[in-house]
C-alpha cells in the first residue's frame, strides 16, 4: 500500500494528528475518534492496526495499556513525492511576498492630497506661497 492510500482516510489522518502531539493510549485515541467520527472501538483498532502495519505508528505496552506514537519515516516518502510539486506553491508564495513588499513600500510613500500635487509632505506655508505666485494651482 502506498503512503497516500493510508493517508487518504480521514480517520487515519486524524489519528496521526493526535499522535503528532505525542504518545497516546489506545483508549484516548479511541475516545477522540469515536466522538468525532462515530465509529466503534473495534473500528478505531482497525485503523490503528493499519497505521502500525504500514509503519506510520509504533506501539508499546505499558502494563495493560497500549501506547501509540507517530513514526515520521513513512511521512518522508510523502515529503519526497511532494518535493516535485513544491515549485508550484513556492512560486505563488514568492509572488505573494513581492506583493506584500510592494504594498509596504507604497504605504511608506505618503499619498497625494487632493488639490495639492505636492502632497502632504509639503508644508501648508509652501503651498500658500506657491499658490500666491501662481506657479501651481
Tell me which residue range forms the domain holding 103.
Answer: 85-133
d(CA 16, CA 51): 9
For residues 59 and 108, membership in a common domain is answered with no
pLDDT tens profile 37-85: 999 999 999 999 999 999 999 999 999 999 999 998 988 888 888 888 8
Cα angle for residues 49, 52, 58 (degrees, 5° grid): 130
Cell of 76: 518522508
The tally of domains found in the chain comes to 2
Are residues 60 and 92 located together in one domain of the fold? no
Give a yes or no: residue 123 inside a domain: yes
> pLDDT tens digit string along 86-130?
777 766 666 677 777 777 777 776 656 555 555 555 555 554 544
Look at residue 26 and tell me if it is in a domain. yes
- Domain membership flag for residue 35: yes
Domain boundary among 48, 72, 96: 72
Residue that finishes a domain, picked among 51, 72, 93:
72
Statement to judge: residues 7 and 68 lie in one domain:
yes
In this structure, the answer to whether residues 68 and 7 fall within a common structural domain is yes
H/E stretch holding 76: helix 73-83
* 80 within some domain: no
CATH number of the domain where residue 33 is located: 1.10.10.10
Amino acid at each position: 500500500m502506498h503512503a497516500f492510500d493510508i493517508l487518504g482516510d480521514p480517520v487515519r489522518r486524524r489519528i496521526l494528528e493526535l499522535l503528532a502531539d505525542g504518545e497516546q493510549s489506545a483508549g484516548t485515541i479511541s475516545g477522540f475518534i469515536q466522538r468525532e467520527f462515530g465509529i466503534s472501538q473495534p473500528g478505531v483498532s482497525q485503523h490503528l492496526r493499519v497505521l502500525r502495519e504500514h509503519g506510520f505508528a509504533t506501539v508499546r505496552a505499558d502494563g495493560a495499556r497500549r501506547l501509540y506514537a507517530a513514526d515520521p519515516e513513512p511521512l518522508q516518502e510523502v515529503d519526497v513525492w511532494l518535493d516535485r510539486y513544491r515549485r508550484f506553491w513556492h512560486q505563488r508564495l514568492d509572488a505573494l511576498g513581492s506583493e506584500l513588499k510592494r504594498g509596504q513600500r507604497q504605504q511608506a510613500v505618503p499619498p497625494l492630497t487632493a488639490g495639492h500635487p505636492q502632497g502632504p509632505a509639503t508644508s501648508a506655508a509652501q503651498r500658500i506661497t506657491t499658490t500666491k505666485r501662481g506657479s501651481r494651482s
